[in-house]
C-alpha cells in the first residue's frame, strides 16, 4: 500500500464514523402535515368576535345645548400645504329627542359669527368680511333638521337645512351618541354627541380663492345637551 493510501484511509474512516453518529436533532425536520398547517387558520377563525357596544339609552325630552361644551370645528386645505382650522362657539340650540320613535326627534342650532375663531385675529376679520361670511349682513348661521334616522348602535343620521350667508342647502350629519344619563353636576338628564359632515363652501356663496384654497370643508361637532331644570324652563 502506498504512503498516500495509508494517509487517506484513516481520514475516510473518520468521516464515515462521523456521518453515522450524527445527532437525531440535527436531522432534517419532517414536513408539516396538512392538519398542522391548517391549525393556525382554524384557531383564528374560531376566535370570538369583539362584543358589540351596548346601546346607550337616551331619555326622551327637550334638551338645550350647553355652549360651554359645544364646539363646531371646520377644516380646509390651503394651497396643498396645510390644513388649517377654525371653530364656532357660543352655540344656541334645542334638541327634542323621542326615545320611542327616533325619527320624530328634531334639532335646531344657531351659531353666532361672533363666536368664530380661527386663532388669528387678522384672519378672523377676513373670514367675517364679504369675501366669506359677510358677518355684518348675516350675523348667524343656522341648522334645522328635516329628518332623523337610526344608523346602527349609538349612531344616527341627521339631515337638515344649513343656512349660511343667506343661502340654504341640505347637509347630512353622521352622528355618534357618546353618552347619556343624569349629569353628575346639574342633576338633570343629559346627552352628548359627536357629528361629522363634509360640504362645499362655494355652495354657500363663499367660493373666494377656489380651487387654490380648498372648496371642501370638513365639519366636526361635539356637544353636550341638558334638560333644563324646571325653574330654568319657565324663564
The 10s digit of each residue's pLDDT in 164-177 is 999 999 999 999 99
- Domain CATH number, residue 201: 2.40.128.110
Query: Which tops the pLDDT comparison, 18 or 100?
Result: 100
Of 225, 169, 235, the closest CA to residue 197 belongs to: 169
* Domain contains 103: yes
* Domain contains 4: no
Which range of residues forms the domain containing residue 213? Answer: 61-234
Query: Which tops the pLDDT comparison, 22 or 186?
Result: 186
* Domain contains 149: yes
Full-model pTM: 0.77
The number of domains in the chain is: 1
* Domain contains 116: yes
Is residue 79 very low, low, confident or very high in pLDDT (cuts 50, 70, 90)?
very high
Q: Which pLDDT score, from 0 to 100, does residue 229 have?
A: 85
Q: Which pLDDT score, from 0 to 100, does residue 235 have?
A: 52
DSSP 92: E
* Domain contains 196: yes
* Domain contains 123: yes
* Domain contains 97: yes
Length of the chain: 235
Is residue 201 very low, low, confident or very high in pLDDT (cuts 50, 70, 90)?
very high
Pull the grid cell for residue 1.
Answer: 500500500
Of 152, 191, 158, 194, the closest CA to residue 176 belongs to: 194
Q: Which pLDDT score, from 0 to 100, does residue 37 have?
A: 54
* Domain contains 18: no
Amino acid at each position: 500500500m502506498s504512503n498516500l493510501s495509508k494517509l487517506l484511509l484513516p481520514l475516510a474512516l473518520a468521516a464515515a464514523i462521523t456521518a453515522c453518529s450524527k445527532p437525531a436533532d440535527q436531522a432534517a425536520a419532517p414536513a408539516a402535515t396538512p392538519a398542522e398547517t391548517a391549525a393556525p387558520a382554524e384557531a383564528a377563525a374560531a376566535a370570538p368576535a369583539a362584543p358589540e357596544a351596548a346601546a346607550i339609552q337616551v331619555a326622551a325630552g327637550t334638551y338645550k345645548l350647553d355652549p360651554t361644551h359645544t364646539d363646531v370645528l371646520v377644516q380646509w386645505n390651503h394651497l396643498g400645504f396645510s390644513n388649517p382650522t377654525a371653530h364656532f362657539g357660543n352655540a344656541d340650540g334645542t334638541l327634542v329627542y323621542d326615545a320611542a320613535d327616533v325619527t320624530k326627534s328634531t334639532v335646531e342650532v344657531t351659531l353666532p359669527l361672533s363666536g368664530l375663531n380661527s386663532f388669528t385675529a387678522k384672519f378672523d376679520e377676513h373670514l367675517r368680511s364679504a369675501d366669506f361670511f359677510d358677518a355684518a349682513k348675516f350675523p348667524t348661521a343656522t341648522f334645522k333638521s328635516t329628518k332623523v334616522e337610526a344608523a346602527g348602535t349609538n349612531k344616527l343620521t341627521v339631515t337638515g337645512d344649513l343656512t349660511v350667508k343667506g343661502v340654504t342647502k341640505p347637509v347630512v350629519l353622521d352622528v355618534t351618541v357618546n353618552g347619556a344619563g343624569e349629569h353628575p353636576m346639574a342633576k338633570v338628564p343629559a346627552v352628548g354627541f359627536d357629528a361629522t359632515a363634509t360640504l362645499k363652501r362655494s355652495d354657500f356663496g363663499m367660493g373666494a380663492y377656489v380651487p387654490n384654497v380648498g372648496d371642501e370643508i370638513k365639519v366636526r361637532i361635539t356637544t353636550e345637551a341638558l334638560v333644563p331644570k324646571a325653574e330654568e324652563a319657565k324663564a
